[in-house]
Amino acid sequence: MEKVLLVDDDVELTTLLKEYLVEEGFEVSIAQDGRIAIGMASSSSVDIIVLDIMMPHMSGIELLQRIRRTSAIPVLMLTAKGDDADRIAGLNLGADDYVPKPCSPGELAARLRAILRRTRRAAGSASEIVQAGDLVMHPGTRVAEWQGKPLDLTGTEFSLLEVLARSAGQLVSKQDISKRALGRSLTPFDRRIDVHISSVRHKLGARDDGQSWIQSVRGQGYQLLQDR
């Protein structure tokens, strides 16, 4: 039974979501304050965190920053509908996905399962190694090395880069990346792939010629280069 930590100060909403998620087979804990959530996330066994952006005392963004300093646990953000700034900020800081509020309990459960499936799938291939040039990835342990040094990636960044590494030198469509890395089709105007790729580009640095290791073809997709 997967354990979910639901962090939101909306009592009515958290009660509704907890009831639904419990019926769907999840074990759910609730924290209505970011400061309490930090202790719960670190002191108990939690598989995934659902985190609201707007909270008293400590915002969801600040809490996400503190979580990412010590943990790669999957985090799904709850954001205000249409607020692209919060969504992009959350993705840039390491959130694995987001759901706009108000959201249906069914959609939330589906997103949680998709993230947890990716985590379990990776854990099941402990001995596998994916290599593309100077990039070495271990899907089982979610550990990556770049040019002989550890590469610090969030869970979603690892999944996206793994897709590109498995098809290194080839153009991979954004739709294909979304299906293989996130487990769902890409919707119109959805920028989360671009935001995550931008973060990975920054972490890889530039090639000797000054270009990015991940090349983009406008409107089509991305390609991971292998040669310098």
Q: Where are the domains of the chain?
A: 3-122, 125-224
The mean pLDDT of the chain is 86
Crossing angle (nearest 10°) for helices 84-92 and 192-204: 30
pLDDT at 183 over 80: no
What pLDDT shows up at residue 45? 81
pLDDT(56) > 70: yes
Edge-first strand listing for the sheet containing 75-80: 27-31, 3-7, 48-52, 75-80, 97-101
Neighbouring residues of 42: CB distance < 8 A, sequence distance ≥ 6: 70, 71
The CA-atom distances, in angstroms, between 124 and each of 101, 120, 139, 213 are 33, 6, 8, 29
Q: Which residue has the higher pLDDT, 115 or 213?
A: 213
State yes or no: pLDDT of 28 exceeds 90: yes
Q: What is the CATH number of domain 125-224?
A: 1.10.10.10
- pLDDT score, position 222: 95
Mean pLDDT score, 118-132: 70
Q: Could you tell me the pLDDT band of residue 123, with boundaries at 50, 70 and 90? A: low
pLDDT at residue number 171:
94
pTM over 0.85: no
Is it true that the peptide bond before 100 is cis, omega within 30 degrees of 0?
no
> Is pLDDT above 80 for 192?
yes
Give residue 163's pLDDT band: very low, low, confident or very high (50, 70, 90).
very high
Q: Give me the CATH code for the 3-122 domain, please.
A: 3.40.50.2300
Enumerate long-range contacts of 98-107, CB under 8 Å, 24 or more apart. 98/192, 101/52, 103/78, 105/16, 105/17, 105/20, 105/21, 106/20
Q: Which of 113, 106, 122 is nearest to 155 (CA)?
A: 122
Q: Which residue has the higher pLDDT, 103 or 5?
A: 5
Residue 214 is predicted with a pLDDT of 96
Residue 171: CA count within 13 A, CB half-sphere = 7
